[in-house]
Chains A and B, each alone.
Chain A
Amino acid sequence: SSELTQDPAVSVALGQTVRITCQGDSLRSHYAAWYQQKSGQAPVLVIYGKNSRPSGIPDRFSGSSSGNTASLTITGAQAEDEGDYYCNSRDSGGFRWVFGGGTKLTVL
């Protein structure tokens, strides 16, 4: 079982806003990073740190954190945002890394 917990699936209407959450004790001490993975491809970093986006990631992606919960928000979801989203951070001991179980995002 993962130390980071995500909802298995979330759906959003095209153009609407969706929030994907990640819960875990280690998030009280460490920020989460978020990755998008499309079928058959390697994961791609979309958010890291407090709320930083790598170059090339649209500004409709944003991140936030409160207590033991990190969130990834997509404001104005597009069809190309469909895929699996994973959070990751240090583990509760702070020595290793863990991933959440992943959230499958469907854009309706």
Chain B
Amino acid sequence: QVQLVQSGPEVKKPGASVKVSCKASGYTFIGYHMHWVRQAPGQGLEWMGIINPSGGRADYAQKFQGRVTVTRDTSTSTVYMELSSLRSEDTAVYFCARDNSDGGSYWWFDPWGQGSLVTVSS
């Protein structure tokens, strides 16, 4: 079955960077884009960015431009999200989610990884 398994929780100090992984299985890795979404405590979902695992091209939400980098390793079917210059407001659960599309007018995120908690604290 299609599955996304993420890395474990992280605790980082302000100003540091964090790299979260998302390992895909059960489908052709390069055939589907992958999104990253985060959720701060008690808040809603926030889209961060997307990568095309085939060519490696990534696109990011304007809010995170310059601070986030999404990469992939096709040999291990793993996508990575690195967020730099961390601040307390970056404390959140980070999810990866596979992109699906009809090729035209609709897209959906399915499945989702289990989430990775990143805590930023001095």
By a beta-carbon cutoff of 8 Å, the part of chain A in contact with chain B is 2, 29-31, 33, 35, 37, 42-45, 48-50, 54, 84, 86, 88-90, 95-102
Contacts and interface: CB of A to CB of B under 8 A. Distances in A.
A27 B96 CA distance: 24
A28 B40 CA distance: 29
A54 B112 CA distance: 14
A86 B97 CA distance: 14
Given A42-B114, A43-B95, A96 B109 contact: no
B47 A49 contact: no
Interface of B: 35, 37, 44-47, 50, 59, 61-62, 95, 97, 100, 102, 105-115
B107 A90 contact: yes
A35 B44 CA distance: 12
Nearest to A44: B112
Contact of A48 (B97, B106, B114): B106
A2 B45 CA distance: 10
Contacts of B37: 99
A95 B59 contact: yes
A88 B45 contact: yes
A8 to B, nearest CB: 10
